Structure 1
Amino acid sequence: MTALPSHPPIVGNPVSLESSPTMSCIWRDENETAAFAQRLARLPALRSAYLELHGDLGAGKTTFVRHLLRSLGVAGRIKSPTYAVVEPHETPDGLSIWHFDFYRFSDPREWEDAGFRDLFAAPGLKLAEWPEKAAPVLPPADLILTMAVLPSEARSVNLRASTPLGLELMEGLRS
């Protein structure tokens, strides 16, 4: 397999990792996951953000995405894009959302062939599960959520902003 060279960032400007703000929270149950998604959905900056979702299988990445999409007004079935790699959605007010799952992503040529560069350059919200599988071709994320299952089955969630837009989102979550 021939790797394609990485490309210049499409979205945002990276923030220095040393100064990259972080935030941590615990979602004790699915209601708390939904409440967090609702808070995030109310932030206007989310409409043009790219969020990376990290965590092991079962950490709650897709569940969080479902709650976020419902909070944004997406109706109908919301399925994991594990096999399709991307599932498009649209809110009633016309916001385009692309939910990526790069778990099965193995060929960087697929990035160009599938038109992912164009999707990431287009306006709208992008959500990516398993972004580490496509790291060389992805733009910098605005906000990175890392989820882990605790022994109590609660979810530990660490957020890190890596662009000015991510900083805006994090500040909005703190207020």
Structure 2
Amino acid sequence: METITRAIDSDSEMVAFGEQLGRIFAHHTGPLSVHLIGNLGAGKTTLTRGILRAFGHEGAVKSPTYTLVETYEFPSRRVYHFDLYRLGDPEELEYMGIRDYFVEHNLCLLEWPERGEGVLPAPDVMVNIAVQGAGRRVALQASDAALQAQLAHC
């Protein structure tokens, strides 16, 4: 699948880009798994803030580093924001019933998905965020051609 890349110059641009992604995710039917990949401070939670704003969330968005997951309820979709940074072993996800999150119209945003390798389902969308000078380089890939085409317009 082709990689779509975007240059992001500021936190406000990252939030705006997240809102564009969120609008696409809001209209997608069925469950969605989005893997957010990047080093500490790359902007994964900032992007998540934008995605949640597209659904109407106006409050703070914190990374669920200690709780592992934060839940956001919206009329059209339930969004789960995972941070697996402190996960000791992927098997811990089985104990928390991880497979139950990837159903219906749920959107699962996963920071540090590599920590759950072997347990997590394959991503529908992969978002790779890398520091590039003072900004960020975002690379997107979708497993579905129609979703990939929508992402190309962000």
TM-score normalised by structure 1 residue count: 0.79
Match status 1:170 vs 2:152: no
Alignment of 1:61-100 (within 5 A): 61-91=44-74, 93-100=75-82
Partner Cα separation in structure 1 for residue 29 and residue 49 of structure 2: 15
Larger Rg: 1
Partner Cα separation in structure 2 for residue 86 and residue 123 of structure 1: 17
Instruction: Report the counterpart of residue 141 of structure 1 in structure 2.
Output: 123
Q: Identify the match of residue 13 of structure 2 among 29, 32, 50.
A: 32
Structure 1 position 121, deviation (Å): 3.1
Instruction: Report the counterpart of residue 128 of structure 1 in structure 2.
Output: 110
RMSD: 1.7
Residues 71, 46 of structure 1: alpha-carbon distance in 2 compared, 3 angstrom cutoff: farther
- Give identity over the alignment, percent: 39
Residues 98, 148 of structure 1: alpha-carbon distance in 2 compared, 3 angstrom cutoff: same
Residues 26, 60 of structure 1: alpha-carbon distance in 2 compared, 3 angstrom cutoff: same
**Contact 2:94–2:119 under 8 Å retained in 1:** no
Structure 1 position 34, deviation (Å): 2.2
**Structure 1: unaligned runs, 5 residues or longer:** 1-19
Partner Cα separation in structure 1 for residue 103 and residue 55 of structure 2: 21
TM-score normalised by structure 2 residue count: 0.89
Match status 1:114 vs 2:92: no
Partner Cα separation in structure 2 for residue 168 and residue 50 of structure 1: 15
Q: Which amino acid aligns with 2:77?
A: L
Structure 1 position 42, deviation (Å): 1.9
Give SS of 2:108's match: strand
Give SS of 1:144's match: strand
**Contact 2:23–2:51 under 8 Å retained in 1:** no
Whose strand fraction is larger, Structure 1's or Structure 2's? Answer: 2
Moved over 6 A (4+): none
**Contact 2:90–2:117 under 8 Å retained in 1:** no
> Aligned residue pairs: how many?
151
**Contact 2:34–2:123 under 8 Å retained in 1:** yes
